Structures are given as C-alpha cells and as structure tokens.
Chain A
Amino acid sequence: MRKTIKQLAKSLLGSLRDLLPIVLVILFFQFIVLQQPLPNVGQILTGIVFVVLGLTFFIHGLEQGLFPIGESMAHAFARKGSLFWLMAFAFSLGFGTTVAEPALIAVAAEAADVAAVGQMIEATDEAKSRYANGLRFTVAFAVGLAIVIGVLRILKGWPIQWIIIGGYIIVVVMTMFAPQEIIGIAYDSGGVTTSTITVPLVTALGVGLASSIRGRNPMIDGFGLIALASLTPIIFVMAYGMFI
C-alpha cells in the first residue's frame, strides 16, 4: 500500500510537469498578448487539479492493467499458434475500439454536413445520418483491417516502410480522383481513429507479439500497428467519397 502511494506521489509530480507547458501558454496569451483577465479562476484551478489527478491515475492504470493484459494476450496467442483466432482478435480490437470512438462520430457528422453542402447527398437529416453511419463503419472496418495486416506483418517480418509507402502512393493517386470536399476529412480521419485507450493496448499487443516470436525484434517489428491504423482510414474514406 505504501509503495502504491509513493508511486502515485511520484507520478503526480510527473503529471504536474506534463501539464505545466499548457498552463504557461494559456497564461502568456491571456495576459500578455490578449491582455485580458482570467475568467472564473476557481473553475480553472479545479479543472487543472482534475486533469493532473486524472493523468496520474491513467498512467498508473496503464502500467497496472492495459500494458500487462495486452502483452499477456499477445504471448498467449503466440503460444496457442492459432492464426485464425489471432486474426479474429486483431480485427475485433480494431473495429470495436473505433466504431464507438466519439471523435470519429463527431467527424462523421461533420463530413455528412460537408457532403450535403457539396450536393453529394440530399440535405435531409435521414440522408445525412445514413451517410455518417456508413462513414463510421467504413473507418472502423479500415482500422480492423489495418490491425490484421499489421499483425500479419509482425508474424511474417515484412518491413513496415514498404507497406506504409505503398499506402501513401495509393493516397496520393486517390487524392487526384477524390471529390475536393472529402480530401480534408479523409486526411483528418486517419488521425482521429486512435484513441487514448486503443494506443497503449495496440502497442502492447504489437510489442508482445514481436517479442514472443523468435527472430523478431520488438523495436523494428513491434511498432507500426498505429501507423497502419492511421493510414487505412484515409484510403477508405476517400474511396467512400468517390463511390457514394
């Protein structure tokens, strides 16, 4: 118990340090550049206390829960040796964590507005929500597929750069043909798919797999899953914009 408290106190200091730059930036711009007083100081202070505590607890939970389960599952799958179940797990992890992602839901709704303004779809609520849902499932499918490809890559030891660069070339070619309105959203959708809980889990899965398979280097083969998960949505969203 005492050890836990000591650990928490230490990471509390760490979180304070992590947050300090934001506070400094806000103070600088508020007082020096905009020259305005700080609105409701009490609320801001409470908020900062919450953020610091939250970050501390999150990092603690990360090391206690998310990293160990990710790695222990990777080892268990590697020992079990069933390719089918590993792939099924990879796909569900990618699909399941993305489809409910709030940032994605927000971006999909905005994309539907853009499509309606650009007269790609009818400007009715029904058409918009159909478009937004279609987009959401497309992106979730893309992320599921990305994790499957990424896991397959770790098993086979393919170098990541060929896959990523190949993906970039597809993106560049598709950019020339995709409707103007969808391009910004497509590029952004790559960034929004990877949430705070997905990233540690997927990283632990990749590193765990790479370290339990002989001949794989966790540094070279273990990373790269997140890169794939940010690339495939760009391709799929542009395809969605082209065909619908």
Chain B
Amino acid sequence: MDILSEFIRVTLGTVIDVLPIAVIIFGFQFFVIRKKPANLNQILLGFFWVLIGLSLFLLGLEWCLFPLGRLMAEQLTDPAFIQAAQVTKDVGEGLNWKDYYWVYIFAFSIGFSTTIAEPSLIAVAIKANEVSGGAIGVWGLRLAVAFGVAIGISLGCYRIVVGDPIHWYIITGYVVVVIQTSFAPKMIVPLAYDSGGVTTSTVTVPLVAALGLGLSETVPGRNPLIDGFGLIAFASLFPIISVMAYAQISEARSRYANRLNSRREKDTRNSRDSA
C-alpha cells in the first residue's frame, strides 16, 4: 500500500534523526555516568512513543497540510489574485503594498495557528509551567508566542513586498529586546529568549518558507534567493518581544489589582472608623 511505504520512509527518516541523539545520550549514560537510570524501561518506551509520534505527525503534515498550505501561499501571492483584490485603483501606478492585504492576513493566521500546534513549544510550555509552580500558564505562554510569530511573519511579508533591507528590521527588534530586558520581570527573561528559538521548527518553517519564496517570486523586483529568506528570523525575534510584553502586562495588572485592593481596604477601614 502507498501509505504504508510512505510511513516506513518517514519513520526511517525520523530514526536517522533520532539516532545520533540516542547514541550520545545512551553512550554517555553507560560509559561516563555508568549507572542504569532508575526507570530505563519507561524511558525506552518513551523514546519509542516519540519516534512513532513524530513520524505520524510528519507524515500527516507532508500528506495534507503542506501541499495545501503551499498551494494557498502560491495562489494568494499570484499577481492575478492580488490584482483582483486591488484596493488602490490608481491606473498606471501598479500594485501598492496595501494590495497585498490578504497575504498579511494569511501570514498572521498561519503563523498563529502553526505555532499553537508546534510540539517543541508545547514541551517548553509544559516545563516552564512546572518549574514556575504554575505562575506561567501553559496557554498564556503559547498564546503570547503565537501572537509574536503572527506579527513577525506578517511584518516579514510586508518587508518582502516593499523591499526594505532586512537588517534594519532585525536590529530595531534587537534594540526593543534590549530595552524590554531591563524593564521586564527577571524571571521571564531567559524563557522569553528561549521562546524565540523554539517557535520555528517542524510545523512553522516549511509553510513560512513557502510563503516567503512565493512572495519574492511574484513581487516585481524581488530576488527569491535573497528576499525569500529572513521570514524565519522575524518569526524568532518577535516572540521574544511578545513574551516579555506578556509578563510585563500581567505584572502591571497584578500590581494594579493590588493597589486597588489595598485602596478598597483602606476605604472600608476609613468608613468603619468614621462610623
């Protein structure tokens, strides 16, 4: 059967992927630490689940989501589609950056939704929730990162359309990160930096790369070899900003709530005193 051979092919690919990691881990475990981990059977079974899970996941993506997503990226960036949706009807002016609005909306929604499904982000969110004793919610972190990726990718698409050099955007982003770092709650900073790296893996990269290449091929004057890259950099920079912003907002809110509470207490005390 077709699907079975595909499954075997993908599983083999995953095994080749996991093999060096397993060799390093178990090599160090048995030759350097020289102690059997307490729950070896459970761990081996866990590796097996990871292997099967990742293969099924990749197979499903390659089978249904990626072809469809790529097709959509192509259709949405197609000059014919964009001309049909044109808003600025200045004759002879050609296409304006505003005419690509469906591309930005698609970039935003695909960035957001693929990040929510990103397995490595789920892993980091579980760990962060565990370590922070529940102070950082799994969903809070995932939504904050997803918004960051969504904004980053739409801005990256805008950059490809207008043709600005990438480094000005990235350097500005870095400056924002540096400024935020000095004001954000200390606890969130390392996690925020990490969330930049985790967002871009299995699900997001192939779709985003297709979008970038599609755009730079159809926008006049863009070179896919140069302008097609860089979307992933946007997708790894903006979550840092959004996660720190999320922590800053929740800190400010709890400070505001505290102040409100203490004022209310004072009020009731005052009214009690006057009574």
- Residues of A whose CB lies within 8 Å of any CB of B are 18-19, 21-22, 24-26, 28-30, 33-34, 36, 39, 43-69, 72-73, 76-77, 80, 85, 88-89, 92-93, 96-97, 99-103, 110, 113-114, 117, 160-161, 164-165, 168, 171-172, 175, 180-181, 183-185, 187-188, 190-201, 203-204, 207, 211, 218-227, 229-230
Contacts of B232 in A (CB 8 A): 187-188, 191-192
Give the interface segment out of B63-71, B249-257, B258-266.
Answer: B63-71
Tell me the nearest residue of chain A to B225, going by C-beta.
Answer: A114
Task: Please state if A230 and B16 are interface contacts (CB–CB under 8 Å).
Answer: no
- The complex places the Cα of A80 from the Cα of B34 at a distance, in Å, of 11
Known: A93-B24, A196-B54, A219-B132. A184 touches B38 (CB 8 A): no
Partner of B49, one of A64, A76, A113, A226: A64
The answer for the CA separation of A165 and B166 in the assembled complex, in Å, is 19
Please give the distance in Å from A25's CB to the nearest CB on chain B.
Answer: 4
CB of B76 closer than 8 Å to a CB of A: yes
Contact check, B43 vs A194: say whether CB atoms are below 8 A apart: no
In the bound complex, CA of A92 to CA of B120 (Å): 20
* Interface residue ranges of B154-193 to A (CB < 8 Å): 166-167, 170-171, 174, 177-178, 181, 186-187, 189-191, 193
Question: Which residue of the partner chain B has the closest CB to A93?
Answer: B24
**A19-B226 contact, Cβ under 8 Å, with A80-B33, A207-B131, A219-B132:** no
Q: Which residues of B contact A192 (CB under 8 A)?
A: 200-201, 205, 232
Kindly identify which residue among B81, B117, B229 contacts A55, using a CB–CB cutoff of 8 Å: B117
**B220 at interface by CB-CB < 8 Å:** no
* Contact A34–B72 (Cβ < 8 Å): yes
Please classify the interface of chain B as helix (H, G, I), strand (E, B), loop, or mixed, using the class held by over half of its residues: helix
Tell me if B44 is interfacial: C-beta within 8 Å of chain A: yes
* B 4-53 contacts with A by CB, 8 A: 13, 16-21, 23-25, 28-29, 32-33, 35, 37-39, 42-53
Inter-chain contacts of B58 with A (CB < 8 A): 54
A157 CB → nearest B CB, Å: 12
**B60 near A54 (CB under 8 angstroms)?**
yes
Minimum CB–CB distance from B142 to chain A (whole Å) comes to: 9
- A195 with B49, Cβ < 8 A, contacts A34-B75, A50-B56, A77-B33 known: no
Point out the residues of chain A lying under 8 angstroms from B187, CB to CB.
219-220
Asked whether A26 lies within 8 Å of B65 as measured between CB atoms, the reply is yes
B122-A164 in contact (CB<8A): no
Known A-B contacts A34-B72, A72-B37, A92-B24; the reply to A64 vs B42 at CB < 8 A is yes
Q: 18 A-B pairs, CB-CB below 8 angstroms?
A: A19-B117, A22-B114, A26-B68, A43-B63, A44-B68, A50-B64, A51-B57, A58-B119, A59-B53, A66-B50, A80-B32, A103-B205, A161-B193, A191-B197, A191-B199, A192-B201, A195-B17, A230-B236
Asked whether B113 is an interface residue with its Cβ less than 8 Å from the other chain, the reply is yes
A192 to B72 Cα, complex, angstroms: 23
A197 touches B72 (CB 8 A): no
Closest to B66 in A: A47
Specify the chain A residue showing the minimal Cβ separation from B112.
A21
Chain B interface residue number, banded: 35 or more
Query: For B110, what are the chain A residues with a Cβ–Cβ distance below 8 Å?
Result: 22, 25
Known interface pairs A39-B68, A47-B61, A192-B205. Does A230 touch B24 (Cβ–Cβ under 8 Å)? no
Known contacts A69-B25, A199-B120, A22 near B190 by CB under 8 Å: no
Q: A39-B71, A52-B60, A59-B119 are in contact. List 13 more A-B contacts (CB 8 A).
A: A29-B76, A53-B53, A53-B56, A57-B50, A65-B43, A68-B39, A73-B25, A101-B17, A172-B171, A188-B232, A191-B233, A219-B131, A227-B197
Instruction: Please report the C-alpha to C-alpha distance between residue A222 and residue B132 in the assembled complex, in whole angstroms.
Output: 11
**B210 interfacial contact with A, CB 8 Å:** no
Residues from chain A with a CB closer than 8 A to the CB of B54 are: 54, 58, 196-197
Q: Decide if B181 touches A161 in the complex (CB within 8 Å).
A: yes
Contact indicator B42/A18 (Cβ below 8 Å)? no
Assembly CA distance A18 to B203 (angstroms): 12
Q: Would A58 and B33 be within 8 Å (CB), given that A92-B24, A100-B17, A203-B194 are in contact?
A: no
Query: With contacts A66-B50, A197-B21, A230-B236 known, is A46 near B167, CB below 8 A?
Result: no
